[in-house]
Amino acid sequence: YKDFILRVEFKQEANGNSGVFFRSSLDGTRISGWQVEIAPRGNDSGGIYESYGRGWLAQIKEENEDILKPDEWNELIILVKGNRVMTWLNNELMTDLRDTKIGEAEGVVALQIHEGGGIKVRWRNIYISTP
């Protein structure tokens, strides 16, 4: 997908790092590109991270950490258009990033969960639309 709006609900049932990759590439089980972070409070859920690249591109404000509802369903919205990425968590704007490298990319959308035991994330009501 190039430009899109994605809506998804997620529920973390155990601590762990997860996310939604966008405009990313797959090489076997390795995915490179950008992800919107989903993690326990204090770990920038709604922020944007570049895997195997520059690292954090947009971390969330400290006061936004309480928007995530642990052990409850949360709604994540991701808007990707050109070089702009905006994220909302539970109807609150988390990030608004413009990035040339993202603007030039195309690729897959993928749900992520890190390897290792004990991580459990549920997903539901996944919708994606393109302009």
Domains of the chain (ranges; CATH) run: 4-129 (2.60.120.560)
**Whole-model pTM?**
0.92
* Closest to 53 (Cα-Cα) out of 86, 26, 31: 31
| CB-based contact 126:7 (threshold 8 Å) | yes
- The tens digit of pLDDT for each residue in 21-72 reads 999 998 887 889 999 999 888 889 999 999 988 999 999 999 999 999 988 9
